[in-house]
Chains A and B, each alone.
Chain A
Amino acid sequence: KNQVEQSPQSLIILEGKNCTLQCNYTVSPFSNLRWYKQDTGRGPVSLTIMTFSENTKSNGRYTATLDADTKQSSLHITASQLSDSASYICVVSAKTGANNLFFGTGTRLTVIP
């Protein structure tokens, strides 16, 4: 069964600290993996999209890694800011099938001063 699991479910960190969010998936055959940031009351915004051959991709203070062998991805946030407070959603795309996008339920990150 194609699934995407994220951990932790929620996280509180101090401003300026780093954090890492995890995404494990069982989606097969794998096409790509995306990380989205969703502020409360707004639509998700794409942070990174990685294909099988990419194992690291950065977007400013956000760095995503992908291990296609172990089917794991992480999103590392460096020097967190209050504006990083949001839900982070991992989405994995499969190459075949009628419904090809599989969503994690997200990690709720709160950055406190």
Chain B
Amino acid sequence: DVKVTQSSRYLVKRTGEKVFLECVQDMDHENMFWYRQDPGLGLRLIYFSYDVKMKEKGDIPEGYSVSREKKERFSLILESASTNQTSMYLCASSPTGRRNQPQHFGDGTRLSIL
């Protein structure tokens, strides 16, 4: 079975800290995605990666960066955390090149910035 694992379910950090959210998938998927989810706004794409060391901006990349050094791992970095980055963060993966494939999600990290 497909498994996407996010390193923390809950995380509390302070304003100005550098925050790392980690995501690992075990399906050998090429594509990985980071979303944030806020009430009434659905899921918004922050960044995605289609291969190792490759990344592309999504709809709301400001204040975030990502790292994909290995195929199975995709990290989201908050360079200097701010209170408006308090949110639920969801990681997903999917295989590349084929249409009509779903994304597989982790359980999410609920991040609070104080």
Answer yes or no: are A and B bound together in one complex.
Answer: no
Question: Which chain A residues have a beta carbon within 8 Å of chain B's beta carbons?
Answer: none
Question: Which chain B residues have a beta carbon within 8 Å of chain A's beta carbons?
Answer: none
